[in-house]
Amino acid sequence: MVAAGVQFGSALQLSLLTTYVQTLGIKHAFSSFIWLCGPITGFVVQPCVGIWSDRCHSRYGRRRPFFLVGAIMIGVAVTVIGFSADIEYLFGDTKEHCRDFKGTRTGAAIVFVIGFWILDLANNTVQGPARALLADLSGPQQSNSANAIFCSWTAVGNILGFSAGSTGNWHRWFPFLTTKGCCEACGNLKGAFLVAVVFLLFCTFVTLNFAREVPLIAKPAPVSSDSAPLLNGAPHSHLDPSSTTFGYPTDRKPGVGTLVDWMGQEVYRGDPNGEALKVEAYHEGVREGAFGLLLNSITYSVPFSVTAELTADTGGGQGLAIGVLNLAIVVPQMIVSLGAGPWDTLFGEGNIPAFVLASISAFASGILAIKKLPHLSRN
């Protein structure tokens, strides 16, 4: 169930944060750079956390300590993000009302980025052990049912998260969230993330109390002298990780992070830093874009479900296997984070170049996955 809580926050992150940072005065060409923290932390954290959770000897279980630490970090991160404008107003250079100030809020942007980094670090701390716990508890005989349950909880988190991001009424339901330094867009973001914290804590509590971990003993496997040190300790099977892991259609971030911004600027002809009508049109487009991501979220759990099924009978190295899978995600994330903004500026400030890259990546990775992945039903 903790997967639903994490996915709720991830959905809000995708649907709201790229657009929100532009309301702080950050130019569109540089807004994609904030996503660099995701691939960097994912490249380092998930494989490391996977190994540590595989070898954890805590009396509370191998995966549970990481759930608890990650949930606390997520709570801190979203609080920092939501209150970044208030923190900047309290200690910043300007005391103008947020409706009147049209410049760049550098202090708020810095606080926002710090919270964003903590959030990505925390998400990676929880996600790997959560998926590994699935394989731990199910075993090879129940992997299909377990994957279905896991995907269902992930879908619940996506539906609730994207719905919360598309609502746009949190500042009306909780008017105390808006302040002189935090106007409607900020108050809406703050309300959505505070609800995400409550939901995550509830999901984490349920998982910690009802998921009974069973200690697994890793099966020894011969390791040749020229084996790659990175994969030492990974589950050994008849599959070559390099031929399957990087064949997954893991292009979730290319295009998705800019979709809601594209809806606001290109479809609804809005401007996050323009006149009042332009700002309102932009935020309406953002809400519609977040709602549209609901359908796209159906495919998010497929690669991890396949990984859990392939590693279910390998003796307990699922954490590292899923961490290695995450490497296939961070590469396109880094490409888009570094290139999307400058590409869009080069082609007239639109998001079409990022969408073209995402489409090509999706098609190529889908074909590669079909060709390289085994037919699980036959194995």
Q: What CATH number matches the domain at 2-213+243-372, 1.10.274.10, 2.40.30.130, 3.40.640.10, 1.20.1250.20?
A: 1.20.1250.20
User: Does residue 291 contact residue 167 with C-beta atoms inside 8 Å?
Assistant: no
Give the predicted TM-score (pTM) of the model. Answer: 0.66
pLDDT along the chain (379 residues), means of 10: 82 78 72 71 76 78 83 88 84 71 78 86 82 71 68 79 79 84 82 88 85 59 47 43 36 54 74 74 74 66 66 56 65 69 67 75 82 64
pLDDT of residue 295: 65
pLDDT of residue 310: 66
Q: Is 277 exposed, middle or buried (0-12, 13-18, 19+ CB in 10 A)?
A: exposed
Task: List the domain boundaries for the chain.
Answer: 2-213+243-372
User: Does residue 129 contact residue 66 with C-beta atoms inside 8 Å?
Assistant: yes
pLDDT of residue 8: 86
pLDDT of residue 245: 37
